[in-house]
Amino acid sequence: MDKALRSLSALPPFSPILNKVLASLAKEDVSFSKLGDLIEKDTVIAGNLLHLVNSALYARRGTINSVRHALSLLGMNKLRNAVLGMSISRMWNAVPTPASWSMARFNMHSAATAILSDMLAQGLPVHYPEGAFVAGLLHDVGKLLIAVALPEKYECVAERHSNGAPLLECEQETLGFTHPELSARALAVWNLPQPIQDAVRDHHRPSHAAGAAEAPLSAIVAAADRHVNSIGISILQASSTAPRAGFEDLGLDRERGARLLEEFQTEYDAMSPFFR
């Protein structure tokens, strides 16, 4: 695991914008105006945010052409999510990876899981709901680190898994650790809040006691990840063979679940072009 973890140093450094956004997750005082100043200096993110605010997702009359106006319309939570997704996917795209690895599929799977995790967390009693988007966005960063640092072993895991073997079992036997464990270790290096680290570490094996007042964040990420894979937005060659599951185990009935998935599709369609 240490070799894979050391590959973090091969990733591009976080931008000032990304550092400020991540600081807001740790409850540090982050000035909205300071964030606006930084965004205005990053033409790519500023342009993408304006494009997003002027998309059908927000359906505003008249064109919004001011970054400050766009930020006020988005609010801090939506702004944080959009900037995180745009910044991190752009950072990933600069990383050299094996030929079999698709950064586009990785970015789209991560973005979709993040968007759906955040929407589930908004509609359900969840521990640390403000961390849902970033937990979904980074839940599989361990897979990227394995592909970068240990490409031959990554290929071995991918081949065994494609032949029907459980993923975590393949990873444990081939690597001696699993991608959720590595993902959580990476998030600890980045000093992200403990609830996000825990959710990422446990997203394949979430514990959700029946009747509990709040669902653990890991259960939210697990449900989002499961659904996103089931509709073919997956890191490995896209397929929709996984069974589609509802969200009844989270306390969301079928009708509310169906409405949420319609909203998810609308938001995903609007935001996904910025994460490719």
pLDDT value at residue 203:
94
Map 138-162 to HEC letters: HCCHHHHHHHHHCHHHHHHHHHHHH
Most confidently predicted of 72-81, 91-100, 214-223, 239-248: 214-223
The model's pLDDT over 82-134, given as tens digits with 9 standing for 90+, comes to: 888 888 887 777 788 888 888 889 999 999 999 999 999 988 889 889 899 99
The model's pLDDT over 40-75, given as tens digits with 9 standing for 90+, comes to: 888 888 888 888 888 767 766 678 888 888 888 887
pLDDT value at residue 244:
59
Q: Name the band, by pLDDT with cuts 50, 70 and 90, for residue 240.
A: very low
Selection from 93, 88, 139 nearest residue 116 by Cα: 139
Tell me the DSSP string of 95-110.
S---TT--HHHHHHHH
Task: Compute CA 33 distance to the chain's CA centroid, rounded to the nearest angstrom.
Answer: 26
Q: What is the mean pLDDT of residues 231-236?
A: 87
What architecture (CATH level 2) is domain 2-11+80-275? Orthogonal Bundle (1.10)
Residue 33 has pLDDT above 80, yes or no: no
Full-model pTM: 0.84
SS3 31: coil
